[in-house]
Amino acid sequence: MSNHWSKFIFLVVAIAYSSVLFGQDPETNSPYSRLGLGDLTNQHFSTLNGMGDLAAGYHNSFDMNMYNPASLSYLRATAFEIGLHAKKANLSNNGQNAQVWSGNLSYIALGFPMRNPRNEVLDRVDTKVHWGMGFSLSPYSNVGYFVETEETRPSIDTILYSYVGDGGTYKFRWANSVRYKNFSAGLMMGYFFGSIDFQSDVDFQSLGSSYKNLFEDRIKMGGFIWNLGVQYDYYLPIRKGERSSQRRFTFGAYGNPASTFNTTSSQLRRRSNPDYSVGIGDSVDTLRNVTDLEGSGKLPAEIGIGFVYTEINKWRAGVNYDFVGWSGYENDAKPETLTDSWRLSIGGEYIPDNRSYNNFFKKMRYRAGAFYGKDPRSDGFNKQLTNYGITLGLGIPIILRQQNVSFVNFAFEMGQLGTENSLQENYYKLTVGFTLNDDFWFFKRKFN
């Protein structure tokens, strides 16, 4: 079996296995995931997670930035990336507190240059046009909650309300990027899909011969998505002693219009009386049972801009602003009103000595960032949720073969989601990403 076929088979198995892992219940309890499509997951990979997610202006030769597809044309080696995360959340409201742990596979991706740079050296060709391609599969939103509330109505009864939700949505993305000199443009096309289950119960605690009411909704959804991205490198003048400029500003932008999706939902409404003391038994009355109910929805438009200043192999720092028009969100199967969201982030990376041969810590990538923004959801008082936090990251280079360098990336995020007078979620999140590089894909061997 050829080396390329073995890599292809490994990729297919990895993607199939990842779909199983994505589907596992993360055992989370996030009450705000009742709203919209749930808790929106971070779509960036672990390298960017440690820098506050500087997606617009970031590109690198050995890792991927799928959020701005224009970055893929800068890849100089095939990159297979996989990430996992664990999260601890402290929920607090009106003096009550709860701790929740969750975790799952964060993403799986493969990116590569369509022409191996080794071929350019062997052929003595200085290619002006570069083409990169990438695939990824990642969660887009997550729903997971179990909430119980009690209401006491004098002269009637104490009523117990139970709310349960489970499921999520995902994105499969295929991106291409072409670069000419210092300008690159990319197009991402993909598929959005998933299913979400909602259940609520109304139960009278002690009222005799009362019915327990059950409401169940299941929504399946799917639709095509796409976005565009551009990046431009502006190199500063060459300094004395340099053969080429080692300083640059990278300006970037990405965005997409609103996209539609289809829904297929089922609805079950029934009531039951499990009170055996009055001799009725467990009678069930189905009020509504509808399946294969067709509908449609609309995902919001998004735009992001930013820049990154880089001193090659030394340090980089940048700013990113992202706006999402969630006020245009629609879902026939679960109508509700959301608010436009935005996020401003800053971050950077520092490498003490990229060429160090006797001090491993000097070759590591040290990262930090911060962000502040508004979530599309609102609390019970119609006040939009705020999300802010800080990030820290560490990139550990690993040489697996000859000059092929792979990385283990750690990203730690500490933040808060909520509003001042309602439920607040203080969380700590650790993401671990593995970037495996191989520069022998598409390598054209020659024999004399």
Q: Provide the CATH number for the domain around residue 79.
A: 2.40.160
Asked if the structure places residue 399 within a domain, the reply is yes
What range does the domain containing 371 cover?
A: 3-140+166-191+219-259+300-438
Taking alpha carbons only, the member of 10, 54, 70 closest to residue 343 is 54
41/388 Cα distance (integer angstroms): 15
Asked if the structure places residue 307 within a domain, the reply is yes
| pLDDT at residue 287, rounded to an integer | 76
Asked if the structure places residue 204 within a domain, the reply is no
| pLDDT at residue 272, rounded to an integer | 73
Asked if the structure places residue 401 within a domain, the reply is yes
Query: 236 with 248: CB under 8 angstroms?
Result: yes
Asked if the structure places residue 286 within a domain, the reply is no
Asked if the structure places residue 363 within a domain, the reply is yes
| pLDDT at residue 157, rounded to an integer | 66
Read off the pTM: 0.87
- Tally of domains within the chain: 1
Asked if the structure places residue 34 within a domain, the reply is yes
Q: How does pLDDT run along the chain (448 residues), one tens digit per residue?
A: 444 444 444 444 455 444 445 554 445 678 899 999 999 999 999 999 999 999 999 999 999 999 999 999 999 889 999 999 999 999 988 778 888 888 889 999 999 998 877 666 666 667 789 999 999 999 999 999 888 777 777 666 677 888 899 999 999 999 999 999 999 999 999 999 999 999 988 877 666 666 778 889 999 999 999 999 999 999 999 988 888 888 999 999 999 999 999 999 998 888 776 654 444 445 567 778 888 999 999 999 999 999 999 999 999 999 999 999 999 999 999 999 999 999 999 999 999 998 887 888 999 999 999 999 999 999 878 899 999 999 999 999 987 665 678 899 999 999 999 998 888 999 999 999 999 988 766 555 554 5
| pLDDT at residue 142, rounded to an integer | 93
| pLDDT at residue 372, rounded to an integer | 98
Asked if the structure places residue 58 within a domain, the reply is yes
